[in-house]
Every structure is written in C-alpha cells, then in structure tokens.
A and B are shown apart, each in its own frame.
Chain A
C-alpha cells in the first residue's frame, strides 16, 4: 500500500499500477541480462565436467 503520500485515492491507485508495471518491466529486463551473462558461464562449467 502506498500510504505515506497524501494523494487522492484514484491517484494513489494509478501510482500503484504504474509502480507494478515499471517493476515488472525492470525485472524482465534485469533477469534477461542476467540470463545472457549466466548461460555461457553455466555452459562452460558443464563442458568442463
């Protein structure tokens, strides 16, 4: 809940939707980068086993 900001309820609700949207996009992009970095590392480890 976004409680600390004294904004009207519809604005707070819109802000909430925006925060979740931005967070989802950031998580998708962030884990995408992580996957690109991690995949070659995992391949290298399994190749050398």
Chain B
C-alpha cells in the first residue's frame, strides 16, 4: 500500500523520525537537519536529493523558529543582509560541488565521510561538556576573555572595506565574507543549516555581541535556507513529500522538546545525546564500509544505529517528562522563557 508514493512503513518512519528529531532538538535548542541528510543517504536517496531535502527541512524549521521568536532579539540587519549574500554564494558553490561529485559518482561517499566526522565531532563536544558537568565545572557563561586567541586575532584584522556593526564595533568585509562563505559552503555541500557553526562564527570571528549573534544568525539562516531550497529545487533535488512528512512530526516534537526543558534537567540527558551522536556517526561509517565492500548486509545495522539511537534518547526525554508531570502535578512552575 502506497500513500504519496511512499510505503506506509516509510511514511510512518518519516513522521515519527521527524517527531523524535523535533523533541531532541527542541530540547537542546538546535535545528536537527544534520540527522536528516544522513538518514536519507542510508535510505538510498541520491546524495543531491538527501542534501536538498535536508536544506528544505532546515528552511521549514527555521520558519517555525523565527515565528516562535518573532521578536528575535537584537538583529544586526546590515550584517545579516551581507551574511545572507555570502552564505548564498557559499551554498551555490557547495551545491555545484555536490553535482560535480555526483557526476563523478562519489557524492555519497564524500557526504557520508563528512557526516562521520561532523557527528563524531558534535558527539565528542557533548561528551566533553557532560564530563565537565560531572567534575562540577558547570560554568556556562561566556565572556570576551573566553574568545580563543585565533578568534581575537581574526577580529583584529582591519583590511578595508570595514563595516560598522550595530553593536558599535567594526569588522572587515573580508572577515565577514570568509566566515559566511565557509559556513555557506559547508551548508550547500552536506545539507545542514549550519546554525551550530554560523552562530559561533558571527560571535567569535566577526565579534558581534552574543545576544545580537543569536538573532542575526537566525535571520541570515532563514533566508539562506530559502536560497538553499531554491538552488536544489531548481534541479528537482528536493523531495517535498519527505520534507513535509518530516516537518509534520518535527513541528510537534519541537514544541514538546522545548516545553520539556522546564521539567527535565539537560544535565541528566546530555551524555546520552553525545553517545547518540557517536552511534549515528558509527552508523554512517558502517554504511560507507558496506558500500565499499559491495554488501547491503550492514544497512539494517546502520539505520538502527542512526535512527534507533535518536528514538532512544528522545524517548528518554519523553519518559522523564511524563514521570515528572506525574510527580510534580500542578505545582510545577515553568521557567521564564529566555527567548534565545
């Protein structure tokens, strides 16, 4: 039985996977597109379709994020507009690279390897954060002294033309173009929104204050997501059915995940999130190994590692929400919305 050209099992998988991704990333405050593209790759979608659909999913979640934070705090609109242009150029270059690699027959391999490194890196960062929490070092505040030396060095470049920032500082157009273009290239190449590198790039390399960096990243990300969808849509590389099903699940999951932050301690699940990312990375590595060996025997294990670990951690959050609701009842007091 097929609905919208998909088997019932795939249809249920996409909606439920979207839901779980929404719960996870609503809870951890991230977009989650970096789990969508590798999953589509594992399900044998062509690399360009997996990447295009991942970017389209990111665009949809960005629209919802902007609606949620319609007063997206401080936004440096001039910087946002420049970033949109350079991000779009990067995305365009990245997409051309993907189509070139596809013509060579190695797009899937390159994207897969990039995801193995990316997910393992994110997993390692979360595990490091979890170990710091175990050591009692839960200092999360960031101040100017935390900016690494290389960031301070890049911020100090005054190669003209210089752009005045809303915050009062100035940044070289070359720095903005380099940082934004690189993030756009990564977005276009592997189909991630890139918020997890875009926001730090705006803060650490361009020198925008943290509050404005969050809003400006969201603003530039929304438009670059639309551009990425347009670019891949031009070549018919966006599967609208898949994106729609994922968004149906994700929009609901993100609401629950976001609400769960008031009842579930992030510290309790952060280590599992780190392990989940490492397992997802291992799943993609196994899939690439199976492709290289020319066997499909490991496909099921790969999907299980990537999708199964996401389901497990999201279920853990949902379980804690249900149990804490039962325990605390009406006395539970939600925290004030930080509006991040």
How far does the Cβ of A43 sit from chain B's closest Cβ, in whole Å? 7
Report the number of A-B residue pairs with Cβ-Cβ less than 8 Å.
83
A16 near B56 with CB under 8 A, answer yes
**B247 proximity list for chain A (CB < 8 A):** 20, 23-24, 27
Contact with A along B227-253 (1 / 0, CB 8 A): 001110111111110011001100110
Please tell me which one of the listed residues A3, A25, A47 contacts residue B236 in the complex, with CB atoms under 8 A apart: A3
How far does the Cβ of A13 sit from chain B's closest Cβ, in whole Å? 3
B234 near A10 with CB under 8 A, answer yes
**B329 proximity list for chain A (CB < 8 A):** 46-47, 49
Once A1-B236, A3-B236, A47-B330 are accepted as A-B contacts, the answer to whether A27 and B230 lie under 8 Å apart by CB is no
How far does the Cβ of B193 sit from chain A's closest Cβ, in whole Å? 13
Once A16-B56, A20-B60, A24-B60 are accepted as A-B contacts, the answer to whether A31 and B251 lie under 8 Å apart by CB is yes
Chain-A contact segment, one of B62-70, B100-108, B166-174, B279-287: B62-70
A2 CA / B199 CA spacing, docked (Å): 33
- Closest B residue to A3 by beta carbon equals B236
Report if B96 contacts A (CB, 8 A). Answer: no
How far does the Cβ of B318 sit from chain A's closest Cβ, in whole Å? 14
The B-contacting residues of A in range 1-49, CB under 8 angstroms, are 1-3, 9-10, 12-14, 16-17, 19-21, 23-25, 27-28, 31, 35, 42-43, 46-47, 49
**A49 proximity list for chain B (CB < 8 A):** 326, 329
**A46 proximity list for chain B (CB < 8 A):** 325-326, 329-330
Report if B84 contacts A (CB, 8 A). Answer: no
Please tell me which one of the listed residues B229, B234, B248, B252 contacts residue A20 in the complex, with CB atoms under 8 A apart: B229
How far does the Cβ of A17 sit from chain B's closest Cβ, in whole Å? 5
- Closest A residue to B228 by beta carbon equals A17
**B60 proximity list for chain A (CB < 8 A):** 20-21, 23-24
- Closest A residue to B328 by beta carbon equals A46
**A1 proximity list for chain B (CB < 8 A):** 236-240
The 10 lowest CB-CB distance pairs between A and B, nearest first, are A13-B233, A24-B63, A27-B251, A16-B233, A24-B60, A13-B234, A13-B230, A28-B67, A9-B234, A1-B236
B interface residues with partner A (beta carbon < 8 Å)? 56, 59-61, 63-64, 67-68, 226, 229-231, 233-240, 243-244, 247-248, 251-252, 255, 325-326, 329-330
Q: A20-B63, A21-B59 are in contact. List 7 more A-B contacts (CB 8 A).
A: A17-B226, A17-B230, A21-B60, A24-B63, A28-B67, A42-B325, A46-B330
29 CB contacts below 8 A, A to B, read A1-B237, A1-B239, A3-B236, A9-B236, A10-B234, A12-B233, A13-B230, A14-B230, A16-B56, A16-B233, A17-B59, A17-B230, A17-B233, A20-B56, A20-B59, A20-B63, A21-B59, A21-B226, A23-B247, A24-B60, A24-B61, A24-B64, A27-B64, A27-B248, A28-B251, A31-B255, A46-B329, A47-B329, A49-B326
